[in-house]
Chains A and B, each alone.
Chain A
Amino acid sequence: MSEVLYLAGENLISPIVLSFALGLIAALARSDLSIPEAAAKALSIYLLFAIGFKGGVSVADHGIDLSLGQSLVAGIVLSAITPLIAFLLLQLLSKMDRLNAAAVAGHYGSISIVTFVAATSVLENRGLSSEGYMVAVAAAMEAPAILSALWLASRDGSGKKMDKELWREIFLNGSIVLLIGSFLIGWITGPKGLAEIDSFIVAPFKGVLCLFLLDMGLLAGRGMKSGRGAVGIGAIAFGILMPIIGSLLGLLCAFLLGLSVGGSMLLMVLSASASYIAVPAAMRVALPEANPSIYLTLSLGVTFPFNLVLGIPLYLTLAQAFIGG
C-alpha cells in the first residue's frame, strides 16, 4: 500500500498529471482557456503516430513470437467480455436504464489511448520496458466492445441495425488506422527509421502529451459541469470500481500470457480504461437515444482522472507484485 501511495504521490506531481489538473481547474473555474479543435486533433495525431511508430520499432528490434498473436486474441476477448461485466455491475450499483447501461458498458470494454500513452510514459520514467506490440493490442481492443454494447442494447429491441457504413466506421476509424499504420511503418523501418525521425517523435513527446492532457482536463472539467446531475453516486462508484475490475482481468490475462511487468501493466491499463473517442462516436450513430452526458461524464470525468492519478500507480504496483520485477 505504501508503494502505491509513494507512486501515486510521485505521479501526482508529474508534468503530465499537473497539466491535466490545470485544464480541469481552468474549466471548473470557467476560465476562457481552450485548445482549438484543430490543434487538439493535431496533438492526438502526433501522439498516435509516435506511440504506434515506437511500438513498431520495438517489435522490429526484439522480433515477434507467438505471444503477439496470443496477446491480440486476449485483447479482443477482454474487450468483448468487459462490457458484459460492466453492464451487470452498472445495473447492480445504479438504477440506469438498459440502453444507457449498454452504452456505458461499451465505453469500458474499449480503451483510452491517452491513458495508455500516459502509462508508457510512466514506464519509461521508471526504466521499465514493455512488449512493443502492445500498441497493436490497444488497436485491437477498440472495436469488439462496441459490438458487445450493441448486442446488450439490442436484447430489448433498442438500437439501430448495424449497417455497412457503421462497420466501416468502427473498424476503420482514424485512430485505429493511424495507430496500426504507424506501427507497421515503425516495424518496417526499424531502429534505422527511428534514428531518422527521433528528434521529432521522441524528444517532444512528453511536452505534446502535457498539452494534450491539458485539453483532456478542459474537456473533463466541462463534462463534469454539464454532466452534473446526469450521473448518481452509484454510477460514479461504478466509474471507479470498474477500472479496478478491468485491470484485474488484464492482470490475469497478462499472467497467463507470460508478459513482462511493463507489458502486464499496459494490458491492465488497456482493460481498465474507458474510451472517449471511438465509442462515443459509434454510440451516437447506433444508440442515439442513449444520453451522451452519462457515458462521457463517467468515461472522461470519473474513470480517466482516476486512472491517470491513482490507477496507473496501482496497476504498476500490482504488476510488479504479481508478475515480478
Chain B
Amino acid sequence: MQTHAAKRVEITIERVMQSRLTDALSAAGVTGYTILPVYGGSGRSGPWSRSGQVSKAGGMVQVVCIIRPDRLDALLESAFAVVERHIGVVCITDCDVLRAERF
C-alpha cells in the first residue's frame, strides 16, 4: 500500500500550558492534534503523579501532532515560544501515513 512520509511531534507539557500550546499551534495553522493525559513520571523536577490531584498545577499532558515535513519548522517555532520556559519534552520522529491529504 502507498504510504507518505510525515513527522510525528510529541509535546509533553504541563497541563496549565495546554490551551496556550494548542492556541499557538492553531495560530500556526496546525489544526490537527490529539491530547493525551499523562498518568505520571519523573524528570529533572522530580517524580509526579496524576492520582489525587485537584489542581491543574501538578499534571502533564501530551499533545501529539502528525504533519507534513515541510510544516515542521512553523510548528516547532510556535510550540517553542510556549514551552521554552516550562517543564516538558518535545520529541520528533519520522512516520508514515496512509492519507497524505489529511495532514
How many A-B contacts if CB must be within 8 Å? Answer: 66
Residue in contact with B46 in the complex, picked from A215, A283, A293, CB distance below 8 Å: A293
The residues in A between 258 and 287 inclusive whose CB is less than 8 angstroms from any CB of B are: 276-278, 280-281, 283-285
Distance of B79 from chain A, by nearest CB (Å)? 15
Q: Do the beta carbons of B49 and A222 come within 8 Å of each other? A: yes
Given contacts A40-B52, A296-B57, 10 further A-B contacts (CB under 8 A): A34-B49, A36-B51, A40-B53, A165-B20, A277-B55, A283-B57, A284-B17, A288-B86, A288-B87, A291-B45
**Contact size range, B:** 20 to 34
Please encode chain A, from 32 to 70, with 1 for each CB lying within 8 Å of some chain B CB and 0 for all others.
001111001100100000000000000000000000000
Q: Which residues of B contact A284 (CB under 8 A)?
A: 14, 16-17, 56-57, 86
The residues in A between 271 and 325 inclusive whose CB is less than 8 angstroms from any CB of B are: 276-278, 280-281, 283-285, 288-289, 291-293, 296
Q: Which residues of B contact A102 (CB under 8 A)?
A: none
Closest to B51 in A: A34
Please encode chain B, from 72 to 90, with 1 for each CB lying within 8 Å of some chain A CB and 0 for all others.
0000000000000111000
Take A284-B14, A288-B85, A289-B85 as given contacts and tell me if A219 and B57 are in contact as well, using a CB distance cutoff of 8 Å.
Answer: no
Closest to B55 in A: A277
B58 at interface, CB cutoff 8 A: yes
A14 at interface, CB cutoff 8 A: no
Please encode chain A, from 218 to 242, with 1 for each CB lying within 8 Å of some chain B CB and 0 for all others.
1100100010000000000000000
Residue in contact with B57 in the complex, picked from A34, A37, A215, A281, CB distance below 8 Å: A281
The residues in A between 128 and 168 inclusive whose CB is less than 8 angstroms from any CB of B are: 160, 165
Distance of B35 from chain A, by nearest CB (Å)? 15
B54 at interface, CB cutoff 8 A: yes
Q: Which residues of B contact A44 (CB under 8 A)?
A: 54
Please encode chain B, from 1 to 44, with 1 for each CB lying within 8 Å of some chain A CB and 0 for all others.
00000000000001011011000000000000000000000000
Q: Do the beta carbons of B51 and A37 come within 8 Å of each other? A: yes
Q: Do the beta carbons of A281 and B53 come within 8 Å of each other? A: no
B50 at interface, CB cutoff 8 A: yes
Q: Which residues of B contact A37 (CB under 8 A)?
A: 50-53, 59
